[in-house]
Homo-oligomer: A and B are copies of this chain.
Amino acid sequence: MSAPDVPGAAHLAARIDAAPPYRSGVPTITDVAALAGVSPMTVSRVLHGGKNVRPDKVKLVTDAVATLGYRRNENARSIRPGQRTGLVGVIITNVSNPYYAEVQQGIEEVLSAEEMRILVGNSGDDVAKERALVDDFVGRQVDGLIVVPSSGGELDGAGAGGAEHLEAVQLARIPLVLASRELPGIHADTVLIDDVTGAYEGAKRLIAEGHTRIAYIGNLVSVFTSRRRFDGFTRAHEEAGLTVDPLLVRAGPNDSAAARGAMLDLLGLEQPPTAVFSANNRNTVGVLRAIVDAGLDPRAIRIIGFDSVELSDVMPFDLSVIDHDARELGRTAGRMIVDRSSGIPRSAPARIVELPTRLIVN
């Protein structure tokens, strides 16, 4: 097996030995070129549309591609300057919330039409994890980033409290879109739900029905949307000359279990509320569960919930919802990325879009 002393043969053996054992069998453009009997450059041209290549060579190449099962290495391609990766990083807090699943669907719908793909990460509403994901995605040379910002960072009220990683993204001139939530100090394309108006109209409706003691369940401390919704809730009260009873405001919950606890607590008050405003779909689920668990007649209390809840219209509760189009929110975010990465210059001012809500009374 050792190379004989014949120069030519030795050279060949060396080439074979050099045929790297690590070459995992995945064919490269060079393999295609060799099989087709052309240069790699010609193969590249054919792959890019075959402009300015003789038809017979085109056929040679396409055949070689087919027999070898060749696929372009997108990563190698993208290290060259000026080449896009076609990758967009998507960071959401939690896909198992149907709302965010719907947002992701909308994003994917728009981007896949542009042959772009999404890298998805769940932050779990944890700023540290969000930061790690951003770093990773940037390292993978994404063409854009869509983020539902984690709420944790807002706690300290500082400028862009804990959002330096997103500032860095902008410094690197990577298009950034904030979805569903704004972030103080970060000036980026943003798509929101019109939380204030939606909540205002929901609360107004309850007040019109005669309710004066309306509870509010939603995390006002750290969740941007919940604070906005509370603003609308409060405004409706003010307009009607009512005041919001602080005892009826449960500012903690942001998941169904916590909301259930808060609701059970409210039901145990000396003077319980006659209606409840729930700040999001997870909380609404918790509220409903509390009512059932407390053994109450499901219609004993009026409920209005932000976001939709599947089958809310057939449930035995006195439940209305403030609905909106989560998928359209995702689509809008996707379009913003597409616009920025072609078309609209990076330096154009940030756009802020607010999507409407629709009150569905049951």
Contact = CB atoms under 8 A, between A and B. Distances in A.
B327 A311 contact: no
Nearest to A111: B121
B104 A112 contact: no
Contacts of A74: 136, 139-141
Contacts of A310: 285, 309-310
Contacts of A96: 98, 101-102, 105, 327
A168 B171 CA distance: 41
A23 interface: yes
A311 B314 contact: no
A287 to B, nearest CB: 11
10 contacts: A69-B171, A74-B139, A75-B76, A96-B102, A112-B122, A117-B140, A120-B120, A289-B311, A311-B315, A316-B316
A1 to B, nearest CB: 24
Given A79-B79, A98-B98, A108-B120, 8 more contacts: A69-B171, A72-B139, A73-B139, A75-B75, A115-B136, A288-B311, A314-B315, A315-B316
Given A95-B101, A292-B314, A71 B138 contact: yes
Q: Which range contains the number of A residues in contact with the other chain?
A: 35 or more
B120 A136 contact: no
Interface string A212-252: 00000000000000000000000000000000000000000
Interface string A172-205: 1100000000000000000000000000000000
A298 B138 CA distance: 52
Interface of A: 20, 22-26, 69, 71-76, 78-79, 81-82, 85, 87, 94-96, 98, 101-102, 104-105, 108-109, 112, 115, 117-122, 135-141, 168, 171-173, 285, 288-289, 292, 298, 309-311, 313-316, 327
Number of copies of chain A assembled together: 2
B95 A104 contact: yes
A14 B75 CA distance: 30
A314 B286 CA distance: 12
Contact of A75 (B140, B311, B313): B140
- Scoring A112, A137, A327 by chain B CB atoms within 10 A of each residue's CB, the highest score goes to A112
Nearest to A129: B112
A153 B104 CA distance: 26
A22 B83 CA distance: 10
Contacts of A81: 20, 22-24
Contacts of A26: 172
Contacts of A75: 75-76, 78-79, 85, 140-141
Given A73-B139, A310-B310, A82 B171 contact: no
A70 B256 CA distance: 41
Contacts of A117: 119-121, 136-137, 140
